[in-house]
Amino acid sequence: MSTTTAANGDDRPASKERRLKDYLERKARDGELYFKSKFIADEVGLSPKEIGALMVKLSDSATTLEIEKWSYTSATTWRVEPN
């Protein structure tokens, strides 16, 4: 589990979700983005497991992003693009 907390010290689930959503919106601004959780974990300050759980949640709730599980080989690859 990640020991990194948000800049304001708030590490509640909602702040983790917001942090990940902000990151994805920024990275996908110019088009679609493909990634594996383990490769963005340090940048976002979350564990790959936390990212995976939040991605499932965001795929249902994020209105500004289109999120889908794209590949299941060795680890899930996610595809994200702006709506």
pLDDT along the chain (83 residues), means of 10: 47 86 96 96 97 96 95 88 94
pLDDT of residue 10: 58
pLDDT of residue 57: 96
The domain spans of the chain are: 13-82
pLDDT of residue 66: 97
Phi, psi at 72, each rounded to 5°: -115, 15
pLDDT of residue 53: 96
Q: Distance (Å, rounded) from C-alpha 38 to C-alpha 60?
A: 21
pLDDT of residue 6: 44
Q: Collapse the DSSP code of 46 into the 3-class scheme (helix H, G, I; strand E, B; otherwise coil) and give the result.
A: coil
pLDDT of residue 2: 42
Fold of the domain built from segment(s) 13-82: Arc Repressor Mutant, subunit A (1.10.10)
Q: Around 34, how many Cα atoms within 13 Å sit in the side-chain half-sphere?
A: 6
